[in-house]
Each structure stands twice: as C-alpha cells, then as structure tokens.
Amino acid sequence: MKDSPKSSSETEDKLFHSKITLQIKGKLIMLDDPCVMGILNVTPDSFFADSRISDDERQLLSKAEKMVEDGAVIFDLGGYSSRPGAVNVSTGDEIKRVIPAVRSLKKHFPDILLSVDTFRHEVAKESISEGADIVNDISGGELDHNMIPTVGSMDVPFICMHMRGNPETMQSKTEYNNIEKEILSFFNEKLNQCHKAGIKDVIIDPGFGFAKTTSQNYRILKNLSYFKTIKNPILAGVSRKSMIYKTLDISPEEALNGTTALNMAALINGAKILRVHDVKEATQTIKLYKNIYP
C-alpha cells in the first residue's frame, strides 16, 4: 500500500518542527529541536529560592556542570530578578553580578551557548564582549530603546519577550481586547525593528506571567501554536511560576510536577526552547515528546 500524499498542514508542521539555526558572531549554530535552556540567577531575590546563586564561583560552576550533565544546551544568566514587584537594581550592580559569571561560564563551558537575561543595552554589550552568545530581553527592547540596535551591531540572536510595563508595574497592565492578536502585533512590530537593526535571528517568548493573569497564561499556552504564523522559534518559560503553584495551592518548591506537565503542553503546541530551573526533568520531557512526535 502506497503512502498517501502529505497534506499542506502536515508539510507546514514538518517545517515548523525543523531544527533551529542561529547565526552567532559569524558562526552558524544548529540546535536540536526542541532543546533546554537552564536558568542561572546571580541574584539574591529570585522567586524560586533554589535558583539563587551567590557570588561564589564554585557554586555557579557546580550548578552549571549539573545542568550540562542533565542536557542543557543553553545557559540563561540573569543578574536582575524580574519577578512581580521586584526591586530595581542599578545598571552598575547588574554588571558587577553578571560579567564575572559570564567570564567564568565561558571559560569552563565554551561549547554551551550563553544567553544573558537583561533589558539594559550596557549589560548586553559588555556581556557579549566577554563571550555571551545571545541576549534575552524580557521587554523586547521596550525598556531600553538602545537594546535592539546594540544587539544588531554585535551579531548575536535576540530573545524577544512580550511584557507590558516593568517588573514593578506589569501586573497592573493585564487588560487586553484579544490577547493573542495583541501579542502577535507586538512581535510583528519588534521583528520589523530587529530586521532593520541587522538582527538575523529572533526567538519569541510570549512572556508567561508578565502582564498576564493566571487565566490569560493558560489561554496563551493552549493557543501557543497561534504564534507559529511568524515562523520564528518559540521559547516557553513556565518553570515553577505562579500560574502553577497558585493554581495548585502549593509553593514554588513543590511545582516541579506541574512544570513538567505544562512543558509537555508547550512542546505539543509548538515550543522549541524550554527555559527551566530543572534541566533533567525537562530533558526527559523532550525525550518522551519526541517519541510521540518523532
């Protein structure tokens, strides 16, 4: 019996689930699809206590080594907590936290891609100069209009997240007429800005928990495939967030099982990168996903 011809939707799905290619400082990098980004927070106040790393280099490297062993392809290093209501940190203090960590991580793990989680172009520029490979901006360039031109000039990919306001004000900005359409419009505008600035690769992140209510977060997760019309890789960051622990009436420390469940939903609906605290479990989730959708 002959195989039936592939439908246009099957062809589109095949294209959508192709590998990710990133151009970084003149080099072409191909990533397995999907892949895991491990969170490294050099902050004293991140919402999940176990993710906090002091200025002890040994603690940073130990956590990073475990992530590599567990399957991380990308580190995401942050020096500014973006949890709701987070206190502002000066640019100078953020640089003091981030740059030594960038140097250490690139020295000890040169083959692991390093993303720097910042919305300040000064932090991004210095981090890239010290070896960072990707810039992850929770505001998509909205909080610092020099960010997108800076990333474009330094020839690295840009993770563009949707958020309204800033970490101190975002939870007061959750009114939408049609949340999917408004987020898609935001991304289209940002992609145009990125293209004009010379950014070759943009990864989009709908921003779970950022200027969204719990019900809005679940609506976006359910309809995540809506954003594949842009044809840019989608990053999903739901790890241990309030949309899980508040719904289940538990603490962030108890939210691993819920995180795994939502990560599988994100993969099924089109996510290519899972940003997580728990790399081993996310890697296992991807392996199971690939057995369902080879």
Q: 25, 275, 280, 287: which is the annotated catalytic residue?
A: 275
Domain annotation covers residue 235: yes
Domain annotation covers residue 225: yes
Pairing of strands 27-31, 20-24: antiparallel
pLDDT of residue 7: 43
pLDDT of residue 163: 95
- Indicate which CATH number applies to the domain containing 110: 3.20.20.20
Domain annotation covers residue 100: yes
Domain annotation covers residue 107: yes
Domain annotation covers residue 35: yes
* Alpha-carbon distance values, 80 to 46, 118, 134, 135, 228 (Å): 8, 7, 16, 14, 30
Whether 275 is catalytic: yes
**201-225 pLDDT, tens digit each:** 999 999 999 999 999 999 999 999 9
Cβ(176)–Cβ(170) under 8 Å?
no
CA-atom Rg of the chain in angstroms = 18
Per the structure, the count of domains in the chain is 1
Give backbone dihedrals phi and psi of 234, rounded to 5 degrees, phi first.
Answer: -105, 130
Tokens representing 92 are 């100078």
DSSP 188-221: HHHHHHHHHHT---EEEE--TTSS--HHHHHHHH
The count of residues in the chain is 294
Distance, CA of 16 to CA of 10 (rounded, Å): 10
pLDDT of residue 46: 53
Domain annotation covers residue 20: no
Whether 241 is catalytic: yes
Domain annotation covers residue 185: yes
Cβ(141)–Cβ(147) under 8 Å?
yes
DSSP 36-53: EEEEEE--S--SSGGGB-
Q: 63, 241, 287, 290: which is the annotated catalytic residue?
A: 241
For each successive 10 residues of the chain (294 residues), what is the average pLDDT? 43 55 93 93 65 74 96 95 72 94 97 97 98 97 97 97 89 94 97 98 97 97 96 96 97 97 98 97 98 94
Reading phi first (left if > 0) and then psi (alpha if -120 to 50, else beta), residue 248 is in alpha
Using DSSP, state whether 86 is helix, strand or coil. Answer: coil
Distance, CA of 213 to CA of 82 (rounded, Å): 16
Full domain range(s) for residue 95:
31-292
pLDDT of residue 165: 87
Domain annotation covers residue 61: yes
Confidence (pTM): 0.90
